[in-house]
Structure 1
Amino acid sequence: MGTAIVWLVNTVLGLMTWAIIISAIMSWLFAFDVINYRNRFVSQLAMFLDAITAPILAPFRKIIPPLGGLDITPIVALLAIHFLRILFNEMSAPFLIMTLG
């Protein structure tokens, strides 16, 4: 049971990482007009990724202002997620695996 919880937490953190990366790449593609919102699939994918990543990025956007039109909050959020993953795997995961099996 403990191993399953550790796997689930690591998987969710990994999916959050990929969602932030894909959302950032799509925002660049929109900014340089490589893709646009007129395509239904692209607009639905962008809205889905925005709905997932907005709650993660919002606290960082309150603290960090845009630097010359550049939004670095995805980078800071990725660093925070990576920090949480290391912290969880080093401190909580061994305890969960030892107690729950």
Structure 2
Amino acid sequence: MIAFIQILGMLINVLVMLVIIQFIIGLLFAFNVINQGNQFVVQIYNSINSLLEPVLSPIRRILPQTGALDFSPLVLILGLNALMIILNNAV
């Protein structure tokens, strides 16, 4: 059981890192640090978006509209950390 929780924790950490990478690349695009003509970075960003969209879209439907700000990645990270705390305390 402990090994299962450790593997789940590792997967949660990878998911959190993907959310952070998506956020950073989005900021770099928004402030024109990285040109959107750079196909390599655009493909990485699109790949991460395709992985995270099934997880983030239900959160976006629940949260109220805040205009240009998207709080769904923050809610996802907080929820995953809460899940890890619950699983670690269950063991």
Taking structure 2 as the reference length, what is the TM-score of the superposition? Answer: 0.89
Structure exhibiting the larger radius of gyration computed from Cα positions? 1
Name the stretch that deviates more: 2-11 or 13-22: 2-11
Distance in 2 (alpha carbons) for counterparts of 1:17 and 1:90: 20
> What is the number of residues matched between the two proteins?
91
Distance in 2 (alpha carbons) for counterparts of 1:65 and 1:43: 28
- Residue ranges of structure 2 left out of the alignment (5+ in a row): none
Name the residue aligned to 2:6: 7
* Structure 2 counterparts to residues 62-77 of structure 1, below 5 A: 62-77=61-76
Contact 1:66 1:72 in 2 (8 A): no
Query: Which aligned runs of 4 or more in structure 1 are off by greater than 2 angstroms?
Result: none
* Structure 2 counterparts to residues 36-51 of structure 1, below 5 A: 36-51=35-50
Once the two structures are TM-superposed, the CA of residue 5 in structure 1 deviates from its matched residue by 1.5
Distance in 1 (alpha carbons) for counterparts of 2:20 and 2:48: 10
Once the two structures are TM-superposed, the CA of residue 59 in structure 1 deviates from its matched residue by 0.9
Q: What's the secondary structure of 2:53's corresponding residue?
A: helix
- Residue ranges of structure 1 left out of the alignment (5+ in a row): 95-101
Once the two structures are TM-superposed, the CA of residue 65 in structure 1 deviates from its matched residue by 3.2
Name the residue aligned to 1:22: 21
Q: Identity rate of aligned residues, in percent?
A: 33
Name the residue aligned to 2:33: 34
Cα gap change, 1:26 to 1:66, in 2 (>3 Å): farther
Distance in 1 (alpha carbons) for counterparts of 2:65 and 2:30: 15
**Which one scores higher on RCO, CA 8 angstroms, separation ≥ 6?**
1
Taking structure 1 as the reference length, what is the TM-score of the superposition? Answer: 0.81
